[in-house]
Amino acid sequence: MSSRISTTRVHEAGIETLQKRQVELAGAQERLTSGKRVAKASDDPAAAARAERALAGEMRAQTSERAVEASRTAMSLSETAMGDVVELLQQAREAMVAAGNASYTDNERRGLAEKLTSIRQQLLSVANRTDGAGSFLFGGQGAGSAPFVDAAGGVQYRGIAGERRTEPATDLPLTINGDGVFMTSLTGNGVFQTSAAAGVTQAWIDNGQVSDPSALTGSTYTLQFSIAAGATTYAVLENGLPTAVTAAPYVSGRDITVDGQTFRISGAPASGDQFTVQPSTATLSVFDTLDRAIGQLGTPSRTAAQIAQGNTDALRDLDQSMSQLQGARAAAGEMLVRIDSETGRLADQKLANQSERSRAEDLDMTDAISKFQNLQTGYDAALKSYSMVQRLSLFQYLNT
């Protein structure tokens, strides 16, 4: 049995072949133009899914990079601000050292008080410094207005203690806890605080030091002085209750040790004078320290002992505040190092996602050009073949 193919069918088959070749050639040309092997999910579902996952990872890395840069800006500005604060406190410390000069008059000390007042104003301005975009560097977890307010009782912190941070993936600070930096240094020497009671005018107590950490009790001690028959003695009370020390002889400038705490009282205490030794607390405000120093320097007719006590306390508290600030500044510097490391990690992550996306959807240009040329050759051959078939007809055949 023989099969016959009509001329019409031959023409139709040729057209179908040409159309198919044209579609293939157009697709190859489109891929060459875009440089993409996978332009839509139907081109290669598995590769399209890989590319989509890689794109999502790349976008997450870009978002994290913006957060890291915001943290870098905040930490750089904060570190600079804390450096300015330390410099101001150093100036205040120099003024207090000068105030201890025995030859200074009340007017000269009043001049130093005015200098401290200026330093305090500058310090408040730095504490309320912004990042240039409306956020307060030391605003903690949030502050709609300046976090430090100069109120009637002294400077108060109106921000929310804590820090604003970037997303958990990077977890970097965007603000500094201003309350922790300026308002909560340790009182005293960091372990215990010595102080003279009101009315003590001829003696003073130093900052003391820990001589036996294992003997510390955390109690509050009071030293009460008495004078009898020309001899000065003191009794020690623990949390208001008598101890075994009831009439210890006093010698000016000699070490006194109470449960691992050693300190010196100098001068000539009067009968009834009291000195207190109590555990340090994280309640020291740098602004209150300056306010007390300004008040003392502005008070006329103080005795030499009162001047010595005031200067000793002021220098101690300034040193504690500076130590707190220097620690916070060092932490900001360490955070900048971590931010550099995080920047490198995100750059690597972004590059890895870009590479994965490229492998999934990008075109191999060498292979694509070769295929395009093959398709073009095939199309040219099909076109020539069709043109030859199209010229064949019975009349043309008879005429040959």
User: What are the structure tokens assigned to 243, written together?
Assistant: 């101890």
Q: What angle do CA 378, 380, 384 make, to 5 degrees?
A: 115
Residue 101 lies in a domain: yes
Domain tally, the chain: 2
Angle, helices 286-297/45-99, rounded to nearest 10 degrees: 10
Instruction: Please indicate, yes or no, whether residues 353 and 268 belong to a single structural domain of this protein.
Output: no
The answer to whether residue 328 scores a pLDDT higher than 60 is yes
Amino acid 167: pLDDT: 82
Domain boundary among 265, 280, 295: 280
Instruction: Please indicate, yes or no, whether residues 64 and 167 belong to a single structural domain of this protein.
Output: yes
Residue 30 lies in a domain: no
Amino acid 96: pLDDT: 95
Instruction: Please indicate, yes or no, whether residues 268 and 314 belong to a single structural domain of this protein.
Output: no
Residue 11 lies in a domain: no
385 vs 389: CA distance, rounded Å: 6
Count Cα neighbours of 241 within 13 Å in the Cβ-side half-sphere.
2
Q: Encode pLDDT of 346-396 as tens digits.
A: 788 888 877 776 666 655 556 556 565 565 666 566 666 666 655 555 555
User: What are the structure tokens assigned to 244, written together?
Assistant: 């075994």
CA end-to-end span of the chain, whole Å?
Answer: 30
Closest C-alpha among 254, 235, 255, 260 to residue 245:
235
Instruction: Please indicate, yes or no, whether residues 42 and 155 belong to a single structural domain of this protein.
Output: yes
Q: Encode pLDDT of 279-296 as tens digits.
A: 999 999 999 999 999 999
Residue 392 lies in a domain: no
Q: Encode pLDDT of 62-93 as tens digits.
A: 888 888 888 899 999 999 999 999 999 999 99
The answer to whether residue 115 scores a pLDDT higher than 80 is yes
Amino acid 70: pLDDT: 87
Residue 23 lies in a domain: no
Instruction: Please indicate, yes or no, whether residues 272 and 248 belong to a single structural domain of this protein.
Output: yes
Domain boundary among 280, 311, 327: 280
Tell whether the torsion through CA atoms of 130, 135, 141 and 147 is positive or negative: positive
Q: Encode pLDDT of 162-206 as tens digits.
A: 888 888 888 888 889 999 999 999 999 999 999 999 999 999 999
Instruction: Please indicate, yes or no, whether residues 145 and 157 belong to a single structural domain of this protein.
Output: yes
Furthest CA-CA distance within the chain: 157
| pLDDT level of residue 149 (50, 70, 90 thresholds) | very high
**Which residues form the domain of 271?**
191-280
Instruction: Please indicate, yes or no, whether residues 169 and 74 belong to a single structural domain of this protein.
Output: yes
Closest C-alpha among 125, 152, 179, 157 to residue 291:
152
- Please provide the average confidence, as pLDDT, over all residues in the chain: 84
Q: Encode pLDDT of 226-277 as tens digits.
A: 999 999 999 999 999 999 999 999 999 999 999 999 999 999 999 999 999 9
Angle, helices 304-361/45-99, rounded to nearest 10 degrees: 170
Amino acid 102: pLDDT: 86
Q: What angle do CA 80, 86, 91 make, to 5 degrees?
A: 130
Instruction: Please indicate, yes or no, whether residues 168 and 220 belong to a single structural domain of this protein.
Output: no
Instruction: Please indicate, yes or no, whether residues 67 and 159 belong to a single structural domain of this protein.
Output: yes
| CATH label of the domain that carries residue 285 | 1.20.1330.10
Residue 398 lies in a domain: no
Instruction: Please indicate, yes or no, whether residues 119 and 172 belong to a single structural domain of this protein.
Output: yes
Residue 368 lies in a domain: no
Q: Are 124 and 155 in contact (CB under 8 A)?
A: yes
Amino acid 148: pLDDT: 95
Overall size of the chain counted in residues: 400
Instruction: Please indicate, yes or no, whether residues 228 and 117 belong to a single structural domain of this protein.
Output: no
Instruction: Please indicate, yes or no, whether residues 339 and 207 belong to a single structural domain of this protein.
Output: no
Domain boundary among 280, 297, 327: 280
The answer to whether residue 44 scores a pLDDT higher than 80 is no
Amino acid 292: pLDDT: 95
Residue 264 lies in a domain: yes
Global pTM reads 0.77
State the average pLDDT over residues 28-35: 55
Amino acid 95: pLDDT: 95
User: What are the structure tokens assigned to 254, written together?
Assistant: 């000699």
